[in-house]
């Protein structure tokens, strides 16, 4: 494959063993309870095997042994980097780097061995390579780190070799992942490609766990095709965009996902009929309603996307969180003290400067100014970017943001936050359309105890209303609430429409 250059094997790492018995003895001498140390040592020996003159058969056995020893350590450190606030703390970053590099090294080592075996003998190293590259990719998704093009190319390399040898569907047991049963190369590859297609960075940690579990169960319902089916009921997804360049000849370009879509539809119907996510093998992380929303999102992600990419560029000031969003939309302090005038409900745009709202400057004796904390991000082809080492708090998405566009306050969500290869933070900005009325929840226990007032944002599209409140607001479905500062004062939340790290949006009816 001239289109893929594997990293050169290292020859400066000393191999600590020469056969299986000595390798087992070496593993037994390692500190089993120290996962980071153990994984570092195993990673070094994987590199040593790659650069050694060992026979391919022995090298394969040794890699299998090290893989089995690495899996418990990988599981032990995973929680240290799963969807932590970005940019990650140094120790969390170190755990992520170690995890993804070990899976990447292991996959490359297996892939390098594959050409030394006859077609039937390639099945084991290619299946293990596909699994390792999928796991390396998943580490990036869990950590909200940009997935490198190399990983996509390596997955296509396994696909090309497996297709050429005619072994994509040959099933093998995997003692390190017994819950998968017998697995084949095509299943691991389809699993990895589908996770890429659903834009996993938009998902919360819980959503990603449920999506990964579901796709793992449906992975072998897919099929790789050189040409899409002519059947109008069939649905094939074009994988070529994932390659990042013209797809080389001989690699199947299409992934048939119609059977997966049918499974999604069946799960949605069962959930709406009252079955629990756990009974449908979707896990316990999400409620039934949340699973329905996620499954619909996954199904939509597998459809052809017709939307054109935004080309918007320039700088944008973002205020984060519900309280600061309230300040931006109203120009008022949510919890004003006696020295701030918050009596007016209108926003004077002539007194706005980087979210500084001079509400009372017209009064001869007034000098106070309401300033809303904000961060400066840059729009690049529609993406919001915050450079590495810039000032700003650590962030998690999806989170609530507000800004000014053409001197008009707007409310939206910063979504799909990830750390790019350069270390910058990048995200999508999704703005709510239509009028947004900022107000206050009234009559809550928090207010009665003189705690900070809870903001809310009422949105309406024709006869359809929704209310966005802080995640800590304590709003309950089908329990009425009073809302001050908008055209509608009595609301009944009926359904959760979306959740973020700091907000929940409900469908509401008038009362």
Gap between the Cα atoms of 123 and 133, Å rounded: 15
Secondary structure (DSSP) of 140-167: HHHHTBPPPHHHHHHHHHHHHHHHHHT-
Distant-in-sequence, close-in-space partners of 79: CB < 8 Å, separation ≥ 6: none
pLDDT of residue 391: 85
- At residue 84, the pLDDT reads 96
Among all chains, which residue has been given the structure tokens 């239509």?
434
Phi-psi region of 163 (alpha: psi -120 to 50; beta: other; left: phi over 0): alpha
Q: Quick one: what percent of the chain has pLDDT higher than 70? A: 90
- pLDDT value for 337: 55
The whole-number average pLDDT for the span 182-200 is: 96
pLDDT at 364: 39
Residue 257 has pLDDT above 70, yes or no: yes
Query: Per-residue pLDDT for 365 more than 50?
Result: no
Which tokens go with 266?
């069946």
User: Which of 134-143, 351-360, 450-459 holds the top average pLDDT?
Assistant: 134-143
Rounded-to-integer distance, Cα 507 and Cα 497, Å: 6
Question: How does strand 356-357 pair with strand 352-353?
Answer: antiparallel
CA distance 158 to 147: 17
Crossing angle for the helix pair 56-77 and 35-50, nearest 10 degrees? 160
**Residue 301, φ and ψ in degrees, nearest 5:** -65, -25
Q: What is the pLDDT of residue 292?
A: 96
Average pLDDT over residues 279-301: 95
Determine the pLDDT at residue 347: 39
Q: What is the pLDDT of residue 310?
A: 66
For the stretch 84-93, contacts whose Cβ atoms lie closer than 8 Å and that sit 24 or more positions apart, written own/partner, are: 84/143, 84/396, 85/394, 85/395, 85/396, 86/144, 86/394, 86/395, 86/396, 86/417, 86/418, 86/419, 86/425, 87/388, 87/394, 87/419, 87/423, 87/425, 88/143, 88/419
What does residue 319 show for φ and ψ, rounded to 5 degrees? Answer: -100, 135
Model confidence pLDDT, tens digit, residues 11-39:
889 999 999 999 999 999 999 899 999 99
Mean pLDDT, the chain, whole residue set: 89
Instruction: Check residue 391 and report its DSSP letter.
Output: S
Residue 412 pLDDT > 90: yes
Q: In what order do the strands lie in the sheet with 223-225?
A: 223-225, 254-256, 236-238
What integer is the mean pLDDT of 220-245?
A: 89
Q: In the structure, what pLDDT confidence band is assigned to residue 233 with cuts at 50, 70 and 90?
A: confident
Mean pLDDT for the stretch of residues 468-491 = 89
Q: Comparing 446 with 185, which gets the higher pLDDT?
A: 185
> What's the pLDDT at 308?
58
Q: For 45, which DSSP code?
A: H
Query: What is the model's pLDDT at position 363?
Result: 38
Contact predicate 185/163, CB 8 Å = no
> What pLDDT does residue 341 have?
39
Q: Please say if the pLDDT value at position 273 is more than 50.
A: yes
Burial of 457 by CB count in 10 Å (0-12 exposed, 13-18 middle, 19+ buried)? buried
Instruction: Give the 3-state secondary structure of residue 15.
Output: coil
Which residues lie across from 378 on neighbouring strands? 315, 385
The pairs formed by 7-14 with CB atoms below 8 angstroms and a separation of 24 or more are 7/108, 9/47, 9/50, 9/51, 9/112, 10/47, 10/48, 10/50, 10/51, 11/51, 12/51, 13/44, 13/45, 13/47, 13/48, 13/51, 14/48
Identify the pLDDT of residue 461: 77
Handedness of CA 446, 324, 89, 79 (dihedral sign): positive
Q: How confident is the model at residue 462 (pLDDT cuts 50, 70, 90)?
A: confident
pLDDT at 460: 86
Confidence at 406, pLDDT banded by 50, 70, 90? confident
Radius of gyration in angstroms for the set of CA atoms belonging to the chain, rounded to a whole number? 27
pLDDT digits (tens, 9 = 90+) for 321-333: 999 999 999 988 8
Q: What's the whole-number mean pLDDT along residues 43-63?
A: 96
Q: Answer whether residue 224 shows pLDDT above 90.
A: yes
* DSSP letter assigned to residue 388: T
pLDDT at 351: 35
CB 243 within 8 A of CB 198: no
**Two tokens, residue 220:** 């072998």
pTM: 0.90
Query: In the block, which residue shows the tokens 């959930």?
Result: 271
């Amino acid at each position: 494959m001239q289109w893929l250059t594997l990293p050169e094997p290292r020859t400066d790492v000393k191999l600590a063993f020469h056969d299986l018995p000595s390798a087992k003895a070496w593993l037994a001498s390692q500190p089993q309870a120290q996962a980071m140390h153990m994984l570092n040592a195993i990673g070094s020996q994987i590199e040593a095997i790659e650069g050694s003159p060992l026979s391919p058969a022995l090298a394969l056995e040794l890699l299998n042994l090290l893989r089995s020893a690495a899996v418990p350590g990988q599981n032990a450190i995973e929680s240290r980097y799963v969807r932590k606030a970005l940019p990650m703390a140094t120790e969390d970053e170190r755990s992520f780097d170690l995890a993804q590099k070990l899976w990447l090294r292991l996959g490359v080592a297996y892939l390098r061995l594959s050409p030394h075996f006859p077609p039937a003998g390639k099945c084991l190293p290619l299946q293990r390579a596909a699994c390792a590259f999928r796991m390396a990719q998943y580490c990036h998704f869990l950590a909200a780190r940009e997935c490198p093009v190399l990983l996509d190319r390596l997955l296509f390399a396994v696909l090309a070799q497996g297709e050429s040898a005619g072994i994509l569907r040959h099933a093998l047991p995997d003692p390190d992942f017994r819950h998968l049963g017998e697995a084949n190369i095509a299943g691991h590859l389809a699993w990895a490609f589908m996770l890429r297609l659903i834009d996993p960075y938009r998902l919360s940690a819980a959503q990603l766990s449920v999506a990964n579990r579901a796709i793992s169960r449906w992975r072998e319902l897919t099929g790789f095709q050189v040409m899409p089916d002519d059947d109008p009921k069939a649905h094939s997804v074009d994988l070529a965009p994932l390659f990042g360049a013209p797809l080389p000849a001989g690699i199947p370009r299409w992934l048939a996902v119609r059977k997966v879509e049918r499974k999604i539809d069946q799960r949605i119907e069962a959930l709406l009929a009252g079955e629990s996510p756990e009974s449908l093998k979707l896990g316990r992380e999400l409620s039934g309603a949340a699973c329905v929303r996620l499954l619909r999102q996954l199904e939509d992600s597998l459809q052809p996307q017709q939307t054109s990419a935004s080309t918007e560029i320039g700088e944008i000031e973002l205020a984060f969180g519900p309280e600061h969003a309230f300040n931006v939309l109203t120009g008022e302090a949510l919890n004003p003290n006696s020295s701030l005038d918050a009596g007016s409900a209108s926003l004077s745009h002539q007194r706005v400067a980087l979210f500084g709202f001079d509400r009372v400057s017209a009064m001869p004796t007034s000098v106070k100014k309401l300033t809303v904390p904000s961060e400066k991000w840059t729009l690049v082809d529609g993406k919001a970017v915050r450079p590495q080492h810039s000032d700003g708090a650590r962030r998690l998405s999806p989170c609530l943001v507000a800004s000014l566009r053409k001197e008009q306050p707007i409310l939206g969500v910063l979504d799909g936050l990830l750390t790019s290869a350069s270390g910058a933070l990048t995200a999508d900005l999704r703005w709510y359309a239509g009028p947004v009325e900022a107000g206050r929840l009234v009559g809550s226990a928090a207010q009665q105890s003189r705690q900070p007032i809870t903001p809310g944002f009422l949105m309406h599209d024709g006869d359809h209303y929704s209310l966005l409140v802080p995640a800590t607001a304590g709003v309950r479905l089908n329990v009425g609430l009073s809302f001050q500062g908008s055209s509608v004062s009595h609301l009944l939340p009926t359904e959760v429409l979306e959740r973020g790290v700091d907000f929940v949006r409900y469908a509401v009816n008038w009362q």
